[in-house]
Structures are given as C-alpha cells and as structure tokens.
Amino acid sequence: MSTREPIERLWGGRFKSGPSESLKALSRSDPSFFKLAPYDLAGSRAHARELLRAGILDDEELRQLLDAMAQIEADFLAGAIQPSLADEDVHTFLERVLTLRTPAVGGKLRAGRSRNDQAANDLRLYLRDKVRKLVQAVDELQRALIDQARQHVHSVTAGFTHLQPAQPIAFAHQLLAHAQSIQRDVDRFMDWDRRAARSPLGAAALAGSAICTNPELSAQELGYDAPCENSIDAVAARDHVAEFVFVASMLAVNLSRLSEEVILWTSRQFGWVELDDGYATGSSIMPQKKNSDIAELTRGKAGRLIGDLGGLLATLKSLPLAYNRDLAEDKIAAFDCVDTLELVLPAMSGMVRTMRVDVDEMRRQAPLGFTLATEVADWLALRGVPFSEAHEITGALVRMCESKGVELGALTPAMLHEVDARLEPAVLDHLTLDAALEARSGFGGTAPARVEEQIARLATAIDRQAEWAANYGGPSC
C-alpha cells in the first residue's frame, strides 16, 4: 500500500519549484465552481467503470472507489467536507479526498482522462440537470398565467400599440400573449438539450484516450444520447453554454416584458390589478405605497443576464482549439443565469397567481380613446367601401366625436349621417365591446371561444413539457 501523501495539484512533475502565491490565487477556481462536485463524482463513477473495462481496475478496486465516492458525495452535500485553499479546483479537491480515503487505488482514477474532458462534462451534466428544474419552475408560472386567463376569458380591456389604446381585447388574451412567448423559451430549452446531450468523456486532453476506448458506454450511463463526434471539439466547444445562456437571457427578457406590464397595470393610472400583500412591498417614508418590487427586480435582472451572454461570447470569440483556461469563465455566466432564474421564477409565479384583477375598471376604460374605431372601418369595408375610404370616413367620425366630447358608443344615427351617408344606423350594433371581441374569431384572435381553445392547447403543451422535465435519465443533484 502506498504511503505517499496526496498531491496538492494534478500537475507539476516537470517543474523544479511550485507555483507562486499570486499564480495560485489567480488559478484557484471561483468558490461557486465547487458546486459541481456531485456532477464530477457522477462522471468519475462512469470513468471508473471504463477503467474496469480497460483492465486498469479490478472488481474489488472498483467497489472500493464507488463506495468511497458515494460517501464523499454524501459528506459534501451534508457540509461535512469542504475544499481547502490548496485545492485548485473541484477535480483536485475530490481526488485529494478520494486518495486520502482509498490510498491504494485513489490515484488510479486519473488514468485515461484529463481535467479538460472532466470540466466539459461537469458543466454539461449540471446544465442538463438544471434545465429541467428551470422548465419545471417556468411551468409553474405558465400555469399561474393560465389560471388567471381562465377567469378572464370574457373580461374586456384595451389592447395597446405604441402604449396607446388600440382595440378591445379579452384580458385573458393579453395574459396568454406573455404565456406564448415564455412557451417558446421552454421549447428552446428542450431543443438546446437535444444538442447538449453529447458526452465529452473519453476526449481526455484533446486527442482522445488510449485507455478509455468505449466512451459510448460512459455516455449512456450518464444519460447522454452519444459521445461527442470529435474529441477536440468535445473539450474546446462552449457553444452549448452560450446557447443555454442565450435562452436564459431571452426568458429573462420575456419575464421583464411581463413585469413591465404588471407595473403599469398596478399603477394608480391604470388601476387594473392589485397585488397580494405577500408579493408587494411598501415605502420606508410613504406609508400609502404598495410597490411591485418583484416585477421591478425581475426587470432589472434581465439586463444582468444579457450581460452574461455578451461577456461569454466575447470570451469565446478568439480562442484557438483546443482547451484554454479562458474557458473557466463559462461557469460564471451559466451559474449566474441559473441562480438568477431560480430566484425570479417562483416569485413571479406567486405574484401572478395571487394578483386580483378589477374587471369593472378594465371594462370602463376599454372603449376610451376610440378603441372601437376599427369596427366602423371594418363594417364599411365589408359593405364594399374601399378600405382607404373607410379609413378616412372613420377618421372623420373620430374627429367629430372629439369635437363633441363623446366616445363612439354615444353616437346617434344623425351624427353618423352628418359624417357620411354610408354610415347607416346598423353600424351602431357593432360598436360594443363584446361585439368587437366576437368579431375577432379567426385562429389566434381574441374572441372568447378562440381564447378558450388557446388555453386548452397551451395547457396540453405545458403537461408535455412537465413530462419531459420529469423523465431525465442523467444525474440530478
């Protein structure tokens, strides 16, 4: 049995002296990187089985290593062991502890692999695990939006363009517009996972391993679809990280847009929505204030995630193949995205689920600003008036209403005839909020029947996504 002390570094044999203190300080991993320990151990277990197939380990040595790694993982998660200042990274930390606990065989585990493929594998496993947890958290927000939408299929409000009242819509339709954009973000995460499901293990430093020659078996054990096609690309590529960060930042942008609308809806000027006390804050000086801080914080953090994406792309843009230490920056961006979304999503879900909508106030405001004007133009067009003329006639009608200080709903047959003889009294039947909604009955429109169909389809899609997230074959920590 070897009695040598575990080494402090995974390199150094060709050096006459150790690294300087400044080099060690710069080279040591950010403390957050050690959260990858469970994923590194998962990769090490798969690698140990590959060493058994290669004849480096026998059955008893494999058992010792697997038992030791299981206990190390339990101890790490319980906080019983922590990396020391001498541990350069998670790989050094775990090999040190493993060698202390299994001195006869711990050093064998390094055969046939490199920190290059280990580091690439750890982050892939982490992101593939976390993406499913994020999808589950997004699903909760989606279900909150759907629950609110079900209550407001017939609640009329004003839809806006250029932040100006435009046309009447169902409030459910507005909520579902946000749900649809967020739905595409989930689709992007699922599509990202299809490309990320390739194992870098077996690539070693860059050329592949002369010892671990069955990477497809390790890939299968870790829940991947297959090994990476090219060993250089396996350790050098970080486009999957950049793509993950892009989808995360796109989700954050869509959450920010929802947040901005909640901020508007809860303002005194709109008065459409009141937040539950548990999801709002007050002012330290103004006792009357009720602030939508969740929405504001979410809106602010979107900029942070956009910065993560820009920083990562700048890091990657000029790197030669294969591995470079610059790539350690990938984890900073990825961890920040995950940590931020894990904070934001539950808070947004609770805020949306518990908000109270003032249906009467929305309906009162819905026709203001002549939002029913398009109904007049459409009515004329359907009766053979060229739309360019219908547009001009309707504009003249709006000008007359403005001069008289009335909305379109207050028009009389005499007022209509004053503007144009083709404006028959029958048009007045179409100048109601409910008629305007019912008229938009095409697929994707705001008619209540179409909105109910949209809710049903979206609920089915969310169930499918939840099933995908739950059925993961890789390590989950």
Q: Which residues are catalytic, by number?
A: 162, 283
DSSP 167-194: EEEEHHHHHHHHHHHHHHHHHHHHHHHH
User: How far is residue 120's CA from residue 109's CA, in Å, rounded to a whole number?
Assistant: 17
Q: Which of helix, strand or coil describes residue 320?
A: coil
Closest CA to 334 of 35, 115, 88, 40: 35
Query: For 85-170, where are the alpha helices, taking DSSP H only?
Result: 90-101, 115-151
Q: Which residues contact 117 (CB under 8 A, 6 or more apart)?
A: 200, 201, 202, 203, 204, 205, 234, 235
* Dihedral, 426, 432, 434, 435 alpha carbons, nearest 10: 30
Helices (H) and strands (E) in the chain, counts: 17, 6
Alpha carbon distance 404, 106 (integer Å): 89
Rounded to an integer, what distance in angstroms lies between the CA atom of residue 5 and that of residue 96? 9
What distance in Å separates the CA atoms of residue 29 and residue 90, rounded to the nearest whole number?
A: 8
What is the distance of C-alpha 120 from the center of its chain?
21
- CA 100, distance to chain mean position in Å, is 40
